[in-house]
Amino acid sequence: MIELKNVTRRFGDAVAVDSINLTVETGEVCVLVGSSGCGKSTTLRMINQLLPHSEGEILVDGKDVTAMNPEQLRLNMGYVIQGTGLFPHWTVARNIAMVPQLLKWPREQIDERVHELLTLLDLDPAVHANKYPQQLSGGQAQRVGVARALAANPNILLMDEPFGALDAITRENLQLEMLRIQRQLKKTTVFVTHDIDEALRLASRIAVMDRGRIIQHDTPENILRRPASEFVENLVGKQDRGLKLMSLRSVRDLMQAYPQPRQPEPGADGLNEDDSLRVALSIMLWQNWNHVPVFNAEGQETGTITRERIIQEGA
């Protein structure tokens, strides 16, 4: 658990972070969102003490970070930044192995870990381990950045606009990848972005910041349904709030499930249980379907869903 209590950071006379209180529970993803210069990165960098705070208290699992050895503190906190920060003259494998090597893990254990992490991040070790960062695409390099941050199995992950420089499709793929990995690893994560859709997709809870203060800290659903101020309302967008709420829920929530999964007709069209209601509605409108079969990850037909129900209950 990470706790910030009345934390302030000044640069000269300017207050970058203004007496904020924030608790990030173990295993949750807290997304800091807000416009440029509102203090998101400063907040993140105070947690791993790359920047000392001017006032207040920062506790990690109940311990004051200022009382901890900064190297030890950072070894327990993976840190991912935009543009990856990979060493250009080191191979992918060596980049990922950096922290385990500092910790003097045995060679064999390091090799195993590099292999495991590349596989987890959907990069074939045989293809990518010996490449240099400039031989990777932006998305692949960012995956390596995440693998490196996870290498020594830290409890905490700090991510500063990690997908900010990627094109929309690669960005969405990496967000989905992150959700999958997070379901497996359940790291306590603080994630900075200025993209509200990214925040809504990834967060357990979102902290909306404005001019150094946290103005709302709540679940994506509550941020959408009950924005605390006009600033938050404008940030989430008034026009497409209904569709954004539909993005938070999956077909599984509103499908009519069969008592037993069935083998589908060969070539049958339909939706997946994990598709968001927004995607489901879009496909159904496009295909002019009123109801369709739903499939699970194994390809079995597990129920049906109707367009009517999505429209009535989706948001």
Ligand X SMILES: Nc1ncnc2c1ncn2[C@@H]1O[C@H](COP(=O)(O)OP(=O)(O)OP(=O)(O)O)[C@@H](O)[C@H]1O
Q: Residue 42 or residue 302: which is nearer to ligand X going by CB?
A: 42
Look at residues 121, 176, 112 and name the one whose alpha carbon lies nearest to residue 149. 121
Q: Rounded to the nearest whole angstrom, what is the least distance from the CB of residue 161 to ligand X in the complex?
A: 7
Q: Rounded to the nearest whole angstrom, what is the least distance from the CB of residue 201 to ligand X in the complex?
A: 18
Sign of CA dihedral 115, 116, 121, 124: positive
Answer for the pair 209, 33: CB distance below 8 angstroms, yes or no.
yes
Q: Residue 182 or residue 193: which is nearer to ligand X going by CB?
A: 193
Q: Residue 16 or residue 200: which is nearer to ligand X going by CB?
A: 16
Determine the 3-state secondary structure of 237 from DSSP: coil
Q: Rounded to the nearest whole angstrom, what is the least distance from the CB of residue 39 to ligand X in the complex?
A: 4
Q: Residue 92 or residue 208: which is nearer to ligand X going by CB?
A: 208
Q: For residue 193, list its beta bridge partners.
A: 33
Q: Rounded to the nearest whole angstrom, what is the least distance from the CB of residue 41 to ligand X in the complex?
A: 3
DSSP 95-111: HHTHHHHHTT--HHHHH
Q: Rounded to the nearest whole angstrom, what is the least distance from the CB of residue 181 to ligand X in the complex?
A: 24
Structure tokens at 43: 């907040």
Answer for the pair 204, 219: CB distance below 8 angstroms, yes or no.
yes
The CA distance from 29 to 205, in Å, is 7
Sort 75 into a burial class: Cβ within 10 Å, 0-12 / 13-18 / 19+: middle
Q: Residue 36 or residue 69: which is nearer to ligand X going by CB?
A: 36
Residue identified by tokens 């970058």 is 16
Residue identified by tokens 């209180």 is 21
Q: Rounded to the nearest whole angstrom, what is the least distance from the CB of residue 49 to ligand X in the complex?
A: 14
The CA distance from 118 to 42, in Å, is 30
Q: Residue 32 or residue 248: which is nearer to ligand X going by CB?
A: 32
Q: Residue 40 or residue 249: which is nearer to ligand X going by CB?
A: 40
Q: Rounded to the nearest whole angstrom, what is the least distance from the CB of residue 38 to ligand X in the complex?
A: 4
Look at residues 76, 27, 5, 39 and name the one whose alpha carbon lies nearest to residue 210. 39
Answer for the pair 167, 13: CB distance below 8 angstroms, yes or no.
no
* Site residues, ligand X (CB under 6 A): 11, 16, 34, 36-42, 194
Answer for the pair 274, 251: CB distance below 8 angstroms, yes or no.
yes
